[in-house]
């Protein structure tokens, strides 16, 4: 347990001592804030549905940017050798980095908590979907972090890691909106694979075990594959 | 302490380490010597559990690397070649991170970091980021990293490569100071390095062990003869060779060249273990030749190394 906490702490600190954290957070706030609030007053409704609808799309680019360096950098500098010859398990390393990435995702979301506060002053805000939305955002963030981590474990080039991660996350986001490309027999499976619908369900405030199971499985598969990829080296 | 049994490593069909066996006793300083690409780093990486062996086994104490890699890692401190550390981290933060992973509690970690920073001469650079440091300093941080948990076994991969002579002496001092009660395996392709620091030398060539002996025995019993070089003025070549061959212990005399028209340089091959320099001097004194130079070439590891790793 101790190595895991040590690694997570180190990675989280790395985010905040370098400018990456502040750049990613600002870009995220700028993009979501702008898109959300330009139409917010036109709808004239005190809810955050549009903000959460946007999240899978923005996350599929922001999160791979957060996770791209986690393994690629270690591979290119060679520090993985110093890390793995310390008394740690592969799972400690992968989990430590994953926990750090998820905490950082939470840090990205934290400033947006100002939105519901402001909106509740403007009108009657239903807090249920807001809480559900943030819970869903964390689940979605965690599964994308796992995917990003896998992409990072596959290559020593950070740019490739970013593009690979973004492509997988983006495909999961849009796949259930492209169902007309697929044969009827596959529709059920493909629809289930889409991250967007599962997230929207939770963001409506409906906690369904199928949606939870989806996010847990994606996270687990991503992390397990990342562990295997590391072990293979 | 460490038993390596029939260890092999293949990379996609390329054989880096080929069925090597050796064992290391507690408290020994062993040098792994070999030309570049001989399999030193692969061997050390398998010892430290970073690479898994293709075949064979490594035992450390009662643990086997295949089943108890984590327990072995607890016993070992490892400094990889050219110290690949996190460049963005401050030296103190890095050592603190290692202490945490090693499971040292807060007070112990502080004391240990203080002790190591003095031992490795890091007190002045604790607040620098590792990426800013020179190679020598980074190597010292790496040594502190390896010694963090005061491990019984220290494994150092080319600890002095790429350093300037002053830094080499510093690093060697640190290793020697740390060596008390520790088992150390270090790899190097610099022979004087192994001669200066190691009790025992294992010479590897193309993934195989070609020599494994005490540093001293290896230099003494090398199967190579002693050679004395001398320069004589006013000596006719044939007469000189004749005279020198008459001395007890001399096997052969060879003329290797001339310094000028008057001066002759001779190489005298002598029987192993004999030192006929005194006899040569006395013999030359009886003539009217002038002895300009007389020295014995020590058969150091260099010669043995070249002999053993020569490409046929």
- For residues B161 and B295, membership in a common domain is answered with no
| DSSP-derived secondary structure for chain A | -HHHHHHHHHHHHHHHHSTHHHHHHHHHHHHHHHHHHHHHHHHT----HHHHHHHHHHHHHHHHHHHTHHHHHHHHHTHHHHHHTSS--HHHHHHHHHHHHHHHHHHHHGGGGHHHHHHHHHS---HHHHHHHHHHHHHHHHHHHHHHHHHHHH-S-HHHHHHHHHHHHHHHHHGGG-GGGS-GGGHHHHHHH-HHHHHHHHHTT---HHHHHHHHHHHHHHHHHHHHHHHH-
* Residue for token pair 């230099």: B219
The pLDDT value recorded for residue A155 is 92
Indicate the average pLDDT of chain B. Answer: 83
Q: Does A13 touch chain B (CB under 8 A)?
A: yes
Same domain, B111 and B260: no
CB contact under 8 A, B84 and A82: yes
Query: In whole angstroms, what separates CA B180 from the centre of its chain?
Result: 18
What share of chain A has pLDDT > 70, as a percent? Answer: 99
Q: Is residue B312 part of a domain?
A: no
Higher local confidence (pLDDT), B167 or B184: B184
Is there a single domain that holds both residue B85 and residue B168? yes
B80 touches chain A (CB under 8 A): yes
Contact residues, A window 26-85, toward B, CB-based 8 Å cutoff: 77-79, 81-82, 84-85
Q: Using an 8 Å CB-CB cutoff, list chain A residues near B85.
A: 79, 82
Tens-place pLDDT, residues B127-162: 998 988 888 888 889 989 998 888 889 999 888 877
- Smallest CA–CA distance, residue B131 to chain A, in Å, is 11
A14/B88 Cβ within 8 A: yes
A87, B103: Cβ pair inside 8 Å? yes
Number of A–B residue contacts, CB under 8 Å: 63
Kindly state whether residue B121 falls inside one of the protein's structural domains.
yes
Q: What percent of chain B has pLDDT over 90?
A: 5
B135 vs A64 pLDDT, higher one: A64
pLDDT of residue B121: 85
What tokens were used for B94? Answer: 């890095």
CB atoms closer than 10 angstroms to residue B275: 13
Tell me which of A145 and A232 has the higher pLDDT.
Answer: A145
Is the model's pLDDT at A197 over the cut of 90? Answer: no
The CATH number of whichever domain residue B183 belongs to comes to 3.40.50.300
Asked if residues A172 and A197 have their Cβ atoms less than 8 Å apart, the reply is: no
**Under 8 Å CB-to-CB from B150, ≥6 apart: which residues?**
B112
Closest residue in B to A73 (Cα) is B86
Measure in Å the smallest separation between the Cα of A102 and chain B Cα atoms. Answer: 20
Sign of CA dihedral A93, A94, A95, A98: positive
Most confident segment among A164-168, B25-29, B110-114, B253-257: A164-168
The answer, yes or no, to whether residue B210 has pLDDT greater than 70, is yes
How many CB atoms are located within 10 Å of the residue B50 CB? 21
For residue A20, give both structure tokens: 């990456």
Q: Are residues B167 and B286 in the same domain?
A: no
Average pLDDT over every residue of B227-240: 83
- How far is the C-alpha of A149 from the C-alpha of A145, rounded, in Å? 6
Residue B96 in tokens: 């603190």
User: What pLDDT is stored for residue B176 in this prediction?
Assistant: 81
Q: For residue A192, what are the domain limits?
A: 2-232
Contacts of A117 (CB under 8 A, 6+ apart): none
Q: Do B73 and A85 touch (CB under 8 A)?
A: yes
Q: Which of A10, A16, A80, A231 to mutate to test the interface with B (most CBs of B within 10 A)?
A: A10
Check CB contact of B151 with chain A, cutoff 8 Å: no
**Range of weakest confidence among A146-160, B93-107, B212-226:** B212-226
Confidence of residue B273 (pLDDT cuts 50, 70, 90): low
| CA of B60 vs chain A CAs: smallest distance (Å) | 15
Nearest CA among B311, B84, B32 for reference residue B190? B32
Per-residue pLDDT at B43 exceeds 60: yes
CB A82 within 8 A of CB A179: no
Chain B interface disruption, residue of A16, A86, A231, most B CBs within 10 A: A86
Summary mean pLDDT of chain A: 89
Does the beta carbon of A16 lie under 8 angstroms from any beta carbon of chain B? no
Q: Scanning every residue of chain A, which has its alpha carbon at the shortest distance from the alpha carbon of B80?
A: A82
Domain identity same for B153 and B270? no
Cα–chain-centroid distance for residue B268? Answer: 30
Residues B165 and B38 in one domain: yes
Domain residues for B78? Answer: 2-220
Any domain includes B44: yes
Which pLDDT score is estimated for B311? 60
A88 touches chain B (CB under 8 A): yes
Q: State whether residue A210 sits within 8 Å of chain B by CB.
A: no
Distance CA A49, CA A54 (A): 9
Q: Over 90: is that where the pLDDT of B174 sits?
A: no
For residue B118, the distance in angstroms to the closest alpha carbon of chain A comes to 22
Q: Is it the case that residue B312 has pLDDT exceeding 70?
A: no
User: At A104, is the pLDDT very low, low, confident or very high (cuts 50, 70, 90)?
Assistant: very high
Q: What is the pLDDT of residue B225?
A: 61
- CA distances in angstroms from B125 to B121, B136, B140, listed in the order given: 9, 12, 11
B93 contacts A82? CB cut-off 8 A = no
State whether A81 and B50 contact (CB < 8 Å): yes
Tell me if A93 sits within 8 A of A230, measured CB to CB: yes
Are B56 and B10 contacting, i.e. CB atoms less than 8 angstroms apart? no
- Give the pLDDT mean for B14-26: 87
Chain B residues closer than 8 Å to A97 by CB: none
Identify the H or E element spanning B115.
helix B106-119
- Residues B189, B263: one domain? no
- DSSP readout, B263-296? EEEEEEEE-TT--THHHHHHHHHTSS-EEEEEEE
B310 lies in a domain? no
Per-residue pLDDT, A59: 92
Average pLDDT of span B271-290 = 81
Q: Is the pLDDT confidence value at B269 over 70? A: yes
Residues B104 and B190 in one domain: yes
- The pLDDT assigned to A221 comes to 95
Q: Domain count for chain B, please give it.
A: 2
What single string gives the DSSP state of each residue in B174-236?
Answer: HHHHHTTT-EEEEEES-HHHHHHH-SEEEEEETTEEEEEEEHHHHHHSSS--EEEEEEEES--
Q: Give the residue from B163, B186, B220 where a domain finishes.
A: B220
- Helix boundaries (H) for B48-90: 69-75
Pairing of strands B76-79, B153-157: parallel
Tracing tokens 């992968």 back to the chain, one arrives at A94
Q: Are the CB atoms for B44 and B77 separated by under 8 Å?
A: no
Percentage of chain B surpassing pLDDT 70? 91
Contact (CB<8Å) B45/A81 = yes
Tally the domains of chain A.
1
Q: Chain A partners of B158 at a C-beta cutoff of 8 Å?
A: none
Q: State residue A71's pLDDT score.
A: 92
Tell whether the model's pLDDT for residue A113 goes beyond 70. Answer: yes
Q: Does A3 touch chain B (CB under 8 A)?
A: yes
Chain B neighbors of A233, CB-CB under 8 A: none
The reply to whether B138 and B209 lie within a common domain is yes
Chain A residues with CB-CB distance to B145 below 8 A? 82
- Do residues B174 and B268 both lie within one domain? no
Hey, are the CB atoms on B97 and A89 less than 8 Å from each other?
no
Tell me the nearest-neighbour CA distance from A65 into chain B, angstroms.
Answer: 18
| Domain final residue, candidates B181, B204, B220 | B220
Cα(B77)–Cα(B95) distance, integer angstroms: 13
Are B80 and B211 part of one and the same domain? yes
- Pair (B68, B213) in one structural domain: yes
Q: Which residue of B has its CA nearest to A89?
A: B70
Is B108 part of the contact surface with chain A (CB cutoff 8 Å)? no
Given this model, what pLDDT does residue B272 score?
67
CATH number at residue B263: 3.30.70.1340
Residue at a domain's end among B220, B253, B280 = B220
CA of A192 vs chain B CAs: smallest distance (Å): 40
On the question of pLDDT at B223 being above 60, the answer is no
Average pLDDT over residues A142-165: 94
Contacts of residue A7 in chain B, CB cutoff 8 Å? 101
Residue B26 included in any domain: yes
Whether residue A150 is predicted with pLDDT greater than 70 in this model: the reply is yes
For residues A71-99, b (16+ Cβ closer than 10 Å) or e, as one string?
A: bbbbbebebbbbbbbbbbeeebbbbbbbb
Tokens of A51: 């903000």
- B291 to chain A nearest CA, in Å? 58
Cβ <8 Å between A82 and B45: no
Question: Could you tell me the pTM of the whole model?
Answer: 0.82
């Amino acid at each position: 347990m101790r190595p895991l906490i040590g690694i997570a702490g180190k990675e989280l600190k790395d985010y905040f001592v370098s400018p990456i954290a502040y750049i990613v957070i600002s870009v995220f706030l700028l993009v979501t804030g702008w898109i959300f609030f330009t139409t917010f007053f036109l709808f004239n409704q005190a809810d955050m549905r549009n903000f959460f609808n946007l999240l899978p799309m923005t996350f599929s680019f922001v999160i791979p940017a957060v996770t791209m360096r986690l393994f690629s950098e270690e591979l290119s500098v060679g520090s993985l050798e110093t890390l793995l010859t310390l008394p740690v398990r592969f799972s400690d390393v992968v989990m430590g980095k994953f926990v750090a990435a998820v905490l950082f995702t939470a840090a990205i979301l934290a400033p947006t908590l100002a939105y519901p506060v402001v909106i509740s002053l403007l009108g009657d805000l239903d807090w249920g979907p807001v809480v559900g939305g943030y819970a869903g955002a964390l689940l979605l963030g965690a599964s994308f972090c796992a995917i990003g981590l896998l992409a990072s474990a596959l290559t020593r080039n950070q740019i490739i890691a970013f593009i690979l991660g973004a492509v997988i996350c983006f495909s999961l986001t849009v796949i259930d909106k492209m169902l007309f490309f697929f044969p009827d027999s596959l529709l059920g499976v493909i629809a289930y694979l889409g991250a967007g619908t599962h997230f929207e369900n939770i963001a409506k405030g409906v906690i369904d075990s199928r949606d939870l199971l989806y996010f847990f499985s994606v996270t687990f598969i991503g992390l397990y594959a990342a562990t295997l990829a590391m072990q293979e080296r | 302490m460490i038993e390596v049994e029939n260890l092999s490593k293949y990379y996609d069909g390329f054989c880096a380490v080929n069925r090597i066996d050796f064992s290391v006793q507690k408290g020994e300083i062993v040098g792994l010597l070999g030309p570049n690409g001989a399999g030193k780093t692969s061997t050390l990486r398998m010892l430290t559990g970073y690479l898994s062996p293709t075949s064979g086994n490594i035992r450390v104490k009662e643990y086997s690397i295949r089943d108890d890699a984590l327990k072995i890692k607890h016993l070992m401190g490892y400094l990889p070649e050219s110290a690949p550390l996190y460049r963005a981290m401050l030296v103190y933060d890095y050592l603190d991170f290692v202490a945490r992973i090693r499971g040292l509690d807060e007070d112990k970690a502080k004391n240990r970091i203080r002790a190591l920073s003095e031992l490795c001469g890091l007190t002045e650079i604790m607040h620098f980021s590792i990426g800013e440091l020179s190679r020598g300093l980074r190597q010292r941080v790496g040594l502190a990293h390896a010694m963090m948990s005061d491990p019984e076994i220290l494994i150092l991969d080319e600890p002095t490569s790429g350093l300037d002579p002053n830094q080499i002496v510093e690093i060697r001092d640190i290793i020697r100071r740390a060596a008390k009660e520790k088992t150390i395996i270090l790899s190097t392709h610099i022979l004087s390095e192994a001669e200066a620091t190691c009790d025992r030398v294992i010479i590897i060539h193309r993934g195989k062990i070609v020599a494994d002996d005490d540093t001293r025995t290896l230099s003494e019993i090398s199967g190579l003869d002693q050679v004395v070089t001398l320069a004589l003025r006013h000596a006719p070549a044939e007469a000189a060779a004749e005279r020198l061959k008459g001395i007890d212990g001399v096997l052969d005399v060879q003329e290797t060249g001339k310094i000028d028209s008057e001066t002759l340089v001779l190489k005298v091959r002598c029987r192993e273990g004999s030192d006929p320099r005194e006899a040569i001097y006395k013999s030359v004194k009886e003539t009217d030749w002038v002895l300009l130079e007389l020295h014995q070439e020590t058969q150091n590891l260099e010669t043995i190394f070249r002999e053993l790793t020569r490409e046929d």
